[in-house]
């Protein structure tokens, strides 16, 4: 297959949407050692998109934009997406800092 843009990632070309989501979850969970980065819980983990998928060029399915959160912590992080106001310690900047990433790193990686 010929690509017009050589910077399009291999995964964005051959992976289905379901495979992309599964790969994202696996990469995020592996990096975070299969525990919630906020409380250490290992049950009911979610791979949370720090910056909403709809705001990223290729959907934000890169580990630099994901963080492992348990159900309760995930709910707190989602408050920012729902209301524009974050619970204390759950702002996008706070979550990026927990994983050693940033909005800029996530956007750069997402654009690859």
Predicted local confidence at residue 3, as pLDDT? 47
- Tell me if 6 is assigned to some domain: no
Domain that holds residue 29: 15-110
Helix residue spans in 1-112 (DSSP H): 10-14, 17-31, 71-83, 92-98, 103-110
- Tell me if 35 is assigned to some domain: yes
Predicted local confidence at residue 18, as pLDDT? 86
Half-sphere exposure of 9 (CA within 13 A, CB side): 13
Question: In tens digits, what is the pLDDT along the chain, a chain of 112 residues?
Answer: 344 555 555 555 566 888 889 999 999 999 999 999 999 999 999 999 999 999 988 889 999 999 999 999 999 999 999 999 999 999 999 999 999 999 999 999 888 8
Predicted local confidence at residue 35, as pLDDT? 98
- Tell me if 75 is assigned to some domain: yes
- Tell me if 104 is assigned to some domain: yes
- Tell me if 10 is assigned to some domain: no
């Amino acid at each position: 297959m010929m690509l017009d843009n050589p910077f399009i990632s291999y995964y964005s070309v051959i992976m289905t949407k379901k495979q992309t989501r599964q790969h994202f979850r696996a990469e995020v969970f592996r990096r975070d050692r299969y525990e919630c980065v906020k409380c250490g819980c290992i049950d009911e983990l979610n791979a949370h998109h720090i910056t909403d998928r709809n705001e990223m060029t290729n959907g934000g399915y890169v580990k630099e934009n994901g963080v492992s959160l348990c159900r309760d912590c995930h709910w707190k992080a989602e408050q920012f997406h729902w209301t524009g106001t974050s619970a204390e310690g759950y702002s996008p900047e706070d979550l990026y800092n927990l994983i050693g990433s940033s909005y800029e790193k996530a956007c750069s990686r997402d654009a690859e």
